[in-house]
Amino acid sequence: MAMQGSTKTSLSRRIDDYRPSKMILVWACVATAAATMIIGFNWGGWVTGGTSRAEAATAGDVARGELASAICVERFNAAPDAPARLAEFKAIPDNYRKRQFVEAGGWAIMPGRTTPDRRGVEGCATALAT
């Protein structure tokens, strides 16, 4: 059986002959841009400016609290009556009252401030409890 004129063309030939319209090219670009953004925001770690600013502010608050906590512990330990105060502190059963004890002692008030940093008080009380 002899093959009569083959109507099938090869894939590479069909690709070479394909000429998309301008509208198809525009929609392909739009779909590619949308897919890039979806992948970037969901799995690529991209964030908006507002999210970035919020995360930076949170990181600053946490760092400030950690620093205030370390200073608070140092001040507490440097006090002349530190061993007696530590025994008194450890005798307090409630975490809320331990934080009040640290606040009342004034060890968590940073220079230039009139009130203690909340995160600093919590970290200081946690560090002293261990």
Instruction: Enter the tokens of residue 86.
Output: 């530590």
Give the least confident one: 5-14, 21-30, 71-80, 111-120: 5-14
* Helix, strand, coil fractions of the chain, as percent rounded to 5: 70, 0, 30
**Could you tell me the maximum CA-CA distance found in the chain, to the nearest angstrom?**
109
Q: Which ranges constitute the DSSP H helices of 79-111?
A: 82-90, 95-105
Three-state DSSP state, 23: helix
The C-alpha atoms of residue 106 and residue 66 are separated, in whole angstroms, by 17
Rounded to two decimals, the pTM is: 0.66
The C-alpha atoms of residue 65 and residue 121 are separated, in whole angstroms, by 8
Q: What is the DSSP-derived secondary structure letter of residue 43?
A: T
For 22-68, the pLDDT digits (tens) are 999 999 999 999 999 999 999 999 999 999 999 999 999 999 999 99
Instruction: Enter the tokens of residue 112.
Output: 């230039």
What pLDDT is recorded for position 16?
84
What pLDDT is recorded for position 7?
66
The answer to whether the Cα torsion of 59, 61, 66, 67 is positive or negative is positive
